[in-house]
Structure 1
Amino acid sequence: MSYTNLTTLSGVFSPIDYGSGIQYAQGLLDLQPGAKLNLGLWLGGLDGLKSIVAGDLDSNIRRISEFATSNLGSKIYLRIGYEFDNPQFNYQTSPPSDLYIRAYQHISSSLRDLPNIIKVWHSYAQFPLNLDDYYPGDSHVDYIGVSLFQAPFHEDGKESMRSVKEVINYAEGKGKEILIAESASFGGTDIKWFDTILNLMEEREVGVWCYISTDWDAQRQWKGVGFGDTRVPDSWWRRNVVNSLKFAKYDVVKDDGGDDDFVRWGSMFFIGVVGIMSVAGLLCLSRRRRGSGGYVAIVDIEK
């Protein structure tokens, strides 16, 4: 996993540290040729959307195309304007306009001929929004992504993930693959949180789940925010996830992910091997569509 900004493309062709670990997309693919890369593309807020629609950032879109073309052996899950409904990213207008949709479509159309670009429309799933106001259209979306950081239960123990489930319902209604693109148990690891997510995966056929396993307080950008230490030890992950009876029907694969320097830096990457995803820097469950093999790939990075 890596992040960049369309206005600068920082972190794509050379490393940069925003305060949450080094981001270096090309470095990840150099480290693991053929990897599947989860790439978050920030669009620069409302000013950035206007520049995209005006064509002012077409040269940078072409550079993304060149990046994808030079890495044709790798699938790139491009989260265009990720977390479009996150107020911090400043994509919303009042009343809602089609500016985000037009910017997304402009990027998507410019990259449409690239076979290794997987276009992801990614919701923050924290605030009530009319998703139709931001949906760019079926032809521009391959996966619908969702973030999941909230504690998915009330004090009485009942699950409460209405906003997340609304996004999942929306994805299923569109016939789109579901990707839990970013997630962590806010405030530190909690077995109830994991149990709820695993149940969600079983109930709703989520295709990919990525859990960020890191000490957030050790990172300048996130220190004191409240995420805490969400690292999951290998023994705990195996005991509570790999050996869970609900996954007994699946083949379980472990891949150490090779060189772990990027783990220390905070960057993350997919290693794509026959549909198996492994991730350094996060834990990931993935599976094929029902009836097509049913892989669940388990990767843990705590040595």
Structure 2
Amino acid sequence: MAICKSTIQNKVIFLTTVLLFFLPPLLWSQEKTTKDSESTEPSIENMLSQINTEVDPEFVYNYEQTKFVPPPGKTLLIMGQTVESISEYLENFPNRKIPGGWSAYWGIPEFKGIAESHKNNTGTTQNHQMLVDWFPDTVVHSAMWMVGKWNIATFAGKGDYDKVIKKYAAWAKSTDRPIYLRIGYEFDGPHNELEPESYVKAYRRIVDVLRKKGADNIAFVWHSYASKPFKDYKLSEWYPGDNYVDWVGISVFGHAYGSADFGPYCDNVLNFAKEHGKPVMIAESSPVKGIDKENIEVWNQWFVNFFSFIYNKNIKAVSFINENWQKLSIPGIQHWKDARLYTNEKISEAWFQETNKERYLKRSPELFEQLGYPKH
């Protein structure tokens, strides 16, 4: 059936008129919906305002027999924990301030991952000397792996690894900077199977050897898992004594989900530190359920509690592990997820706005002086 040209033109004019009438309100409605959606996501300022910055006066006390403690109202900021994750961090945040220190790990049976690179069975690399070479005016946060399994702690207590400790002492002295050494970190964690008696004996021997070799730039950190302990031993049974401990450390992983109250086991460690006049550091921390790319829920679920805890409990040093846990072959953490800050731009921006505050000590020519480390 033939359709005349004028009829088609009339229909086109009609449809055009309808579109011109209805399209602007539709576009405006879509734009408003988008803006309304964006406005429901809090601003960075609002995210930071959720942090409780009040300090519990109960945790402001005098420190005894310790070293390299930040001044009142200050917290040393440390990041970690492998060559790969540190390099990746620098690539993603090239213009951010460098933290006051970096973390590295090694095992007491062998002098590896200290003076040169060493790739371990998790597929990651450790290199203490890299931290010294790359980052002047920063501290080294050194974690010594020592467990009860395979009689590692027993051998250490008998002196089987004294040669390794002496090499470490020589290297530590050569760095001429503060080193925070965590001897047998997470000593009370069930995964380490450390018996208190063998742990204390090994810890004391290690400290005695390091002191005898003149490694005076090492602060000794007694690092608790701050969770249900191995065989329900009392915390005090693992304690080497005030003369052997400069700092008390805790781990913060699942602890921070839910509230700034990290539970009775953590409270027990904090109170023990207070009773013995030792400063507390968060020696390891990470939001192990992951940082989502699409939302910022983890900020209120974990980061707000984490930072509130730092303020409330007067934490003097904090080490954050910027890691994709799913890439690591570590038994027992298969359910842990990607917790790297750059997974979510808004989370990372809030992180840096908080840690850029003067409270957090970062790399600077004045850092060592602030920590009471003598210039040589």
What interval of TM-score do these two structures reach, taking the shorter chain for normalisation? Answer: 0.7 to 0.9
Give the aligned partner of residue 297 of structure 1. Answer: none
In the alignment, does 2:262 pair up with 1:163?
no
Q: Deviations over 1:135-191 (max 9, x none)?
A: 00111111111111114345xx68443222221221122111111010111211311
Match of 1:139 among 225, 243, 246: 243
The 2-side partners of 1:85 and 1:253 are apart by 29
Match of 1:8 among 96, 104, 110: 110
Match of 1:99 among 195, 198, 206: 198
Contact kept in structure 2, 1:216 and 1:223, CA below 8 Å: no
The 2-side partners of 1:3 and 1:87 are apart by 20
Contact kept in structure 2, 1:216 and 1:222, CA below 8 Å: no
Give the aligned partner of residue 135 of structure 2. Answer: 32
Match of 1:275 among 360, 367, 370: 367
Which runs of at least 4 in structure 1 moved beyond 6 Å after TM superposition?
Answer: 252-255
The structure whose residues are more often strand, as a share, is 1
Give the aligned partner of residue 120 of structure 1. Answer: 221
The 1-side partners of 2:161 and 2:371 are apart by 36
Give the aligned partner of residue 201 of structure 1. Answer: 310
The structure-2 alpha-carbon separation of the partners of 1:167 and 1:22, relative to structure 1 and needing over 3 Å to count, comes to: same
In the alignment, does 2:353 pair up with 1:240?
no
Counterpart amino acid of residue 179 in structure 2: I
The offset of 1:206, in angstroms, is 0.3
The 2-side partners of 1:101 and 1:196 are apart by 33
Give the aligned partner of residue 179 of structure 1. Answer: 281
The structure whose residues are more often helix, as a share, is 2
The 1-side partners of 2:257 and 2:136 are apart by 40
The 2-side partners of 1:107 and 1:223 are apart by 28
The 2-side partners of 1:177 and 1:214 are apart by 26
The 2-side partners of 1:273 and 1:179 are apart by 22
Uncovered stretches (5+) of structure 1, i.e. residues with no partner: 256-270, 277-286, 290-303
User: CA RMSD for the aligned pairs?
Assistant: 2.9
The 1-side partners of 2:201 and 2:222 are apart by 13
Greater relative contact order: 1 or 2 (C-alpha under 8 angstroms, separation 6 or more)?
2
The offset of 1:242, in angstroms, is 4.8
The offset of 1:21, in angstroms, is 2.1
The 2-side partners of 1:273 and 1:105 are apart by 33
The 1-side partners of 2:361 and 2:222 are apart by 29
The structure-2 alpha-carbon separation of the partners of 1:102 and 1:158, relative to structure 1 and needing over 3 Å to count, comes to: closer
Give the aligned partner of residue 280 of structure 1. Answer: none
Structure with higher Rg: it is 2
The 2-side partners of 1:87 and 1:49 are apart by 15
The 1-side partners of 2:147 and 2:349 are apart by 42
